[in-house]
Amino acid sequence: MPAGLMIPARNMPSMIGSNGNISGFGSSSGLTLGQPNLMEAGHLHPLDMAPNTSESDIARIRDDDFDSATKSGSDNPEGGSGDDQDPRPKKKRYHRHTQHQIQEMEAFFKECPHPDDKQRKELSRELGLEPLQVKFWFQNKRTQMKTQHERHENTQLRNENEKLRADNMRYREALGSASCPNCGGPTAIGEMSFDEHHLRLENARLREEIDRISAIAAKYVGKPVGNYPLLSSPVPSRSPLDLGVGSFGGQPGMAGEIYGGGDLLRSISGPNEADKPLIIEIAVAAMEELIRMAQMGEPLWMTSLDGNTTVFNEDEYIRTFPRVAPKPSNHFKCEASRESAVVIMNHINLVEILMDVNQWSTVFSGIVSRAMTLDVLSTGVAGNYNGALQVMTAEFQVPSPLVPTRESYYVRYCKQHVDGTWAVVDVSLDTLRPNPAPRSCQRRPSGCLIQEMPNGYSKVTWVEHVDVDERGVHNLYKQLVNSGNAFGAKRWVATLDRQCERLASALASNIPTGDVGVITNQEGRKSMLKLAERMVISFCAGVSASTTHTWTTLSGTGADDVRVMTRKSVDDPGRPPGIVLSAATSFWLPVPPKRVFEFLRDENSRNEWDILSNGGIVQEMAHIANGRDTGNCVSLLRVNSANSSQSNMLILQESCTDQTASFVIYAPVDIVAMNVVLNGSDPDYVALLPSGFAILPDGGGMGDSGSGGSLLTVAFQILVDSVPTAKLSLGSVATVNNLIACTVERIKAALSCDTT
């Protein structure tokens, strides 16, 4: 049928109105379905539709065609052949469907709008209709429903269009009456400033970048990244102080510049433009691997015999991830671990900390000695870090000069998954620029999954997976490093849990006022915590065997070597000007870490090891609790000298402990400066030279269980000359060497008495 008409069924009075219109359609435009198979059989004739053909004529013609199409040999009373019959089709009487037939087909349509041949035959037999009549009725009904739906959508779109037109007119009127905030004159509509033009170009470039990432992601996950409205930048970089503590560490995008680390970091260039597509592919594949590593159980992760630890199955890993690259050399060994914990921090704040290099290196200052963002390939979409890609370099440490730091050049990728879980993954990029001598550490996909929990908590699942050359580790620390507690997931999670408690304590407003020495002034608490945080970062960055440090061995028997280094402090308001000498030594104690920590942090036992207190009585003046463990706190101590002619001295001390590491770090502070800090003023200009202790389990057992010994690092920072250009004297070196050696002997003597 060239006219494209649908052939109606007979006996359909309810579908045809008195004016010839088909009920529910309103016009003949909805009649679009033809039946070419009937034309090929020779039953139907082309209809030359005149432009003025009425809808009632159409209905009549279609009904006549239907009668002729359904005519069979049994309808011929003479029983002759087609050649003996009149070539013109006989006009049949118009038949209407009964109300019962319509109701039955309506009910069937609700259950099955597309009946098959068997269902149509069954329905036609029950209703006394031809199968073709049933077929065409269902076709008409489907077309009717489609047209009604389209009419409803058109009405909705028309209403929305009118609303947008009204909004547009309102905005035009507002722009017409706008005035310049500087001169008060009318604004120039239609002119584009240079800055706006630059932003538009940048926006277009970023959209192309998102499209590229989406196309690459589609190859791995089977679907593209959604199109989100792109903002000019993600959440602005903030200090962790906004969550409860302060920040420290140089320029934006860089952390840990103490002892000259910044110069070496700057010497590492960002990726080439040609490498960026490959970096994106590596990051997307790493994200997929991290998710599987975090969620898989046996046989990839096996439970140890004691049931307390999870052991990584390297052979199963190679079978599960066949695209795994080989180790850089035979000297490299696999080190993998996984740990989970629920921490007291909102999941969005956690993501922000992980994606801001300053906040990240501050929170994990005991593990990250220095870090820098080399390039930002994507800032993320929808105003957050979803889809953010950063090329970074970092150095990971154990607080001891006997364990070399682990340098890594990697990409960090952040993504929010469909179930609301956030994931942040790191993976090394050393394969892009192979060096003759590979780095001592290459990160396979490592990172964490963050799930939102009620009441502002988050569940964190951390995976740490590296290939590392451990030949430079001192024998004293090999058992600890091999156990995975030095650099593994357990240490990352324990540090994060403790730092989240520290941040929460800084935000606490219901401080009990009954305890003596508790600082209740909110601004004073904040300033004191910020000063203590800078002290801890300075201590940790100055005690590890970083590639930026040049340690010189002074004396010792091998395991008890004292190592020193010097640096010049010039124009640094946070440190006194002059030559600073740092001295450190590490040794083993047959005492559990918990006992060593309690002894060193207790002000009542301080005179047993602190030579500089000159036998004076140490008294705690004020403190700020930092978590559930009473050992986690910041204290302000006063030394009442036995010699009344000497002025009293104040000591700022922070003690912190978790299952994997403990610290007692302190620094002498000026009384006037501390009064300013306690009043809530900026503590950045208070000069500090921290000293203290880092306490680690020896690998034979964890400190909380009371088993195993301790690895203790003692470190001092002393100003030996207030003139930065002066030369270091041998007498100063000898004095510091004697000081640290005497302190070690006193600690050994005091703790050995406790164990006898």
288: buried, middle or exposed (CB in 10 Å: 19+, 13-18, 0-12)? middle
Q: Strands 633-640, 310-312: parallel, antiparallel or unpaired by DSSP?
A: unpaired
Q: What is the pLDDT of residues 661-698, one digit of tens each?
A: 999 999 998 888 888 888 888 888 888 889 999 999 98
List the one residue out of 248, 275, 251, 273 whose CA is nearest residue 263. 251
Torsion sign over Cα 632, 635, 640, 645: positive
d(CA 673, CA 509): 25
Alpha-helix runs per DSSP H in 223-313: 261-266, 276-295
Quickly name the fold that domain 508-754 has. Alpha-D-Glucose-1,6-Bisphosphate; Chain A, domain 4 (3.30.530)
> What is each CA distance from 344 to 338, 347, 412, 459, in whole angstroms?
20, 9, 24, 9
730 band by pLDDT with thresholds 50, 70 and 90: confident
pLDDT for 470: 80
Q: What is the pLDDT of residues 333-391, one digit of tens each?
A: 888 899 999 999 999 999 999 999 999 999 999 999 889 999 898 888 767 888 899 99
List the one residue out of 523, 528, 496 whose CA is nearest residue 654. 528
d(CA 126, CA 435): 83
Q: Which residue has the higher pLDDT, 281 or 61?
A: 281
Spell out the CATH class of 273-506: alpha beta
pLDDT for 421: 92
722 band by pLDDT with thresholds 50, 70 and 90: confident
Q: What is the pLDDT of residues 504-536, one digit of tens each?
A: 877 776 665 555 556 667 788 888 899 999 999
Per-domain residue ranges of the chain: 121-152, 273-506, 508-754
Q: Which residue has the higher pLDDT, 47 or 195?
A: 195
Q: Comparing 279-283, 423-427, 527-531, 609-613, which segment has the lowest mean pLDDT?
A: 609-613
pLDDT for 703: 40
Helix (H, G, I), strand (E, B) or coil at 359: helix
> What is each CA distance from 155 to 27, 151, 152, 373, in whole angstroms?
17, 6, 5, 53
Decide if 346 contacts 458 (C-beta within 8 A). yes
Cβ-based neighbours of 296, under 8 Å, separated by 6 or more: 320
Q: What angle do CA 301, 302, 305 make, to 5 degrees?
A: 155
Q: Rounded mean pLDDT of the chain? A: 74
Mean pLDDT of 106-124: 89
pLDDT for 79: 41
What is the token pair recorded at 281? 């592919």
751 band by pLDDT with thresholds 50, 70 and 90: confident
pTM comes to: 0.66
List the one residue out of 160, 371, 192, 352 whose CA is nearest residue 265. 371
